[in-house]
Amino acid sequence: MTATDRTLTVAETEPLTLVEDMGRPGHADTGVTGSGAFDRASARQANVAVGNPPDAPLLEVLLGGLDVTAGCPVTVAVTGIDAPLTVHPAAGRARPGHTRTVVRLAAGDRLVLGTATSGLRGYVAFSGGVDAAFVLGSASTDTLGSLGPAPVAPGPLSLGPPAGAGDAPPHRRGGFLPPLRPTAVVVDVVPGPREDRVAPESVETFYTRVYRVTPQSDRVGVRLDGPPLTTLGGSLPSEGTVRGTIQVPPSGVPTVFGPDHPVTGGYPVIGVATPESVDALAQAAPGTEVRFRRV
């Protein structure tokens, strides 16, 4: 069976349903950022649950909202958000359920993922992975650089061949990650490299005061509202940045870079959030409290 024999039909989805994997690191020198799943732990777990390699392409669905019909037998898992998940068999009664379970679909079965009740980004893995074109070694959609597949739209969605023999439901080791209901997130920060370009009293403010996620946040960066910080010494030459970089722009209010961040920046970097903290921020809806903790 080839990848083209394995398809789903997308009837409905949200505008920011993207194909993502673990990204395309190693190309910053050519101006290409790493991209990839925002909440990497949830993406890996969804893939493993259906028997895929942890870095297989899958869907990142903002706030849920996905309606697909299977054109072939396929195993599905959804992580990252809490949301209702209903299976409508080709023949028989609907089976209501929830995310963080492994679902087996027969050809003709329809799966409907509802709106998230907590969390922000759901990760939908299909056995075999999403069959998407690779650009620089990755099938990830980079929203800043406009690389990779276009956002998922109604129509056919191709899947790759399942690992192993056939498409039998895999043996899942361990449980799913606990539900994320972040009304507050503590972000662990490795200080520097430009903490010395922030006034000492502002460094104390950064680590002791509360910030909140704003609606302007996206995959490029988590934008915050809260007490502004004072920087010292004027502008800096542009320097390389990474996922989790915490810049202090002219407004003084920090921004935490997400997976589609620019590869360079000229504002002081007070610190870098740990990978686990960036995963948590991926699920932080507008209004979520954010505190920073030095590690």
Residue with the two structure tokens 């915050």: 224
Instruction: Read off the pLDDT of each residue in 259-286 and give the average, rounded to a whole number.
Output: 96
In a domain, 168, yes or no: no
Q: Are residues 142 and 54 in the same domain?
A: yes
Residues 218 and 131 grouped into a single domain: no
In a domain, 246, yes or no: yes
Quick check: is 262 in a domain?
yes
Give DSSP secondary structure letters for 101-151: SEEEE-TT-EEEEEE-SB-SEEEEEETT-B----BTTB---BTTTTBSSPP
- In sequence order, the 6+-apart residues with CB closer than 8 A to the CB of 16 are 61, 62, 151
Total structural domains within the chain: 2
Strands (E), the chain: 7-13, 17-20, 58-62, 64-70, 74-79, 84-88, 95-98, 102-105, 110-115, 121-126, 155-158, 184-191, 211-213, 221-225, 239-240, 245-247, 255-257, 264-265, 269-273, 289-294
Using the 8-state DSSP alphabet, how is residue 158 labeled? E
Tell me, what's the pLDDT at 1?
Answer: 36
pTM across the whole model? 0.93
For residue 184, pLDDT over 60 is answered with yes
User: How far, CA to CA in Å, does 145 sit from each of 17, 91, 123?
Assistant: 17, 44, 22
The pLDDT, as a whole number, for residue 5 is 77
On whether both 115 and 25 belong to a single domain, the answer is: yes
The torsion angles phi and psi of 45, rounded to 5 degrees, stand at -65, -40
Q: Which domain holds residue 127?
A: 7-158
On whether residue 178 sits in a domain, the answer given is no
Q: Which CATH number belongs to the domain containing residue 247 in this structure?
A: 2.40.100.10
Q: CA 226, CA 95: separation in Å to the nearest integer?
A: 44
CB distance 144 to 220 below 8 Å: yes
In whole angstroms, what is the distance from residue 209 CA to residue 227 CA?
A: 7
Q: Place 177 in a pLDDT band, splitting at 50, 70 and 90.
A: low
| Residue 169 belongs to some domain of the structure | no
Q: How far is CA 267 from the centre of its chain?
A: 25
For residue 54, say if its preceding peptide bond is cis, omega within 30 degrees of 0.
Answer: no
pLDDT at residue 4 tops 60: no
Instruction: Name 76's bridge partners.
Output: 103, 126
Please state, in angstroms and rounded to a whole number, the distance separating the CA atoms of residues 258 and 137: 20
* Same domain flag for 190 and 143: no
Of the chain, the percentage scoring pLDDT greater than 90 comes to 82
Mark whether 136 and 18 lie in a shared domain.
yes
Percentage of the chain surpassing pLDDT 70? 92
pLDDT digits (tens, 9 = 90+) for 85-112: 999 999 888 999 888 889 999 999 999 9
Find the farthest-apart pair of alpha carbons in the chain and give their distance in angstroms, rounded.
Answer: 69
Selection from 105, 121, 117, 123 nearest residue 46 by Cα: 123
Kindly report which listed range (26-30, 124-128, 174-178) carries the lowest average pLDDT score.
174-178
Pairing of strands 102-105, 74-79: antiparallel
